[in-house]
Amino acid sequence: MQELEGRTALVTGGDSGIGLGTARALVQAGMRVVVCGVVEESLQAAHAELSRLGTAEAVQLDVRDRDGFARLADRLDQQHGGVDVLVNNAGVGFLSPTAEVSFDQWDWVLGINLTGVFNGIRTFLPRMLAVGRPAHIVATASIGGLLGAPGSAYAATKFGVVGLMEALAVEVQGTDVGVSVLAPGIVATNIHQGLRPPGEVAEHTPGGASSGDLHVAAMQPDEVGIRVRQAILDEQFYVLTHAEHRELLQRRFDALLAAVPSGTPDVRRAEVERLVLRNPVYDRVLARRTS
């Protein structure tokens, strides 16, 4: 998208943290921004702040509520001609190890972090395609969606978001809809103080780090929001935030390549595998890097 001013954006989980930082960046670019959340007090505070910067609205919405998504989409169609930028940001933090995760907790984390993203896309993507003007969809994953960090249920949701968005990028090729996936590292948010899962939960921090350790040098949400805004303008697919992740990602990808069987590939089989699995988003990202 080359022009944001005067367009409409919807940001789920936009009442705090990365969502609010992104909402600030978009409203400062002249967009009409609708933020969604589940806590009335934080929604009101976010609305008051964003309204001082530009045009904003706050709506109470649980991203698991598909009927609520549909009602909101209908209203935004009628009032503003639809949504031009969708930021699927709502999420919860939950780092319990697998042996301690109940079935209800698993369903809760996936319902918000992964199915909630799908609900937003499935609601708004067909409308964006029908309108036919430039649009963009962002989903917030995590660096924990690219690296197997502690917290298996959380990691499963974030790996799922990355896979969902990589596949979606292929599906919308040739349309006016762009796609980005955000994979931030540690950011100064209140996600650890957000919604609580059902049942009993023992407190866990990744790698045994204390809460103070995690936030001593945490990136600020506004910095992430600016990166997201630029990714929309530049049609950038991967939005990574921390230079500190380069070495960690390199080790993972080297480990994957080291596990590939040696030997000469079968030519016919290679053609089929390439036909099915080759994702042009990787080529586009690499081409932009070298241009």
Q: Give the lowest-confidence range in 23-27, 215-219, 248-252, 256-260.
A: 215-219
CB 224 within 8 A of CB 184: yes
Give strand pairing partners of 85: 9, 136
pLDDT per residue as tens digits for the range 120-158? 999 999 999 999 999 999 999 999 999 998 899 999 999
| Per-residue confidence band for 212, with pLDDT thresholds at 50, 70 and 90 | low
Return the pLDDT at 289. Answer: 79
Give strand pairing partners of 8: 32
Report the CATH number of the 8-249 domain. 3.40.50.720
Instruction: State how far Cα 41 lies from the chain centre.
Output: 24
CB 85 within 8 A of CB 127: no
Q: What is the value of pTM for the model shown?
A: 0.93
Which one is catalytic: 124, 154, 159, 237? 154
Q: Would the CA dihedral through 93, 19, 72, 119 be positive or negative?
A: negative
CB 241 within 8 A of CB 183: yes
Distance CA 284, CA 289 (A): 9
Distance CA 48, CA 20 (A): 12
Instruction: State how far Cα 92 lies from the chain centre.
Output: 12
pLDDT of residue 105 exceeding 90, the answer is yes
What residue segments make up the domains of the chain, in order of their start? 8-249
| 238 tagged catalytic | no
Strand order in the sheet with 32-37: 56-60, 32-37, 8-12, 85-88, 135-140, 177-183, 238-240
Place of tokens 């709506």: 59
pLDDT, mean over the chain:
93
Percent of the chain with pLDDT over 90: 85
Distance CA 261, CA 148 (A): 22
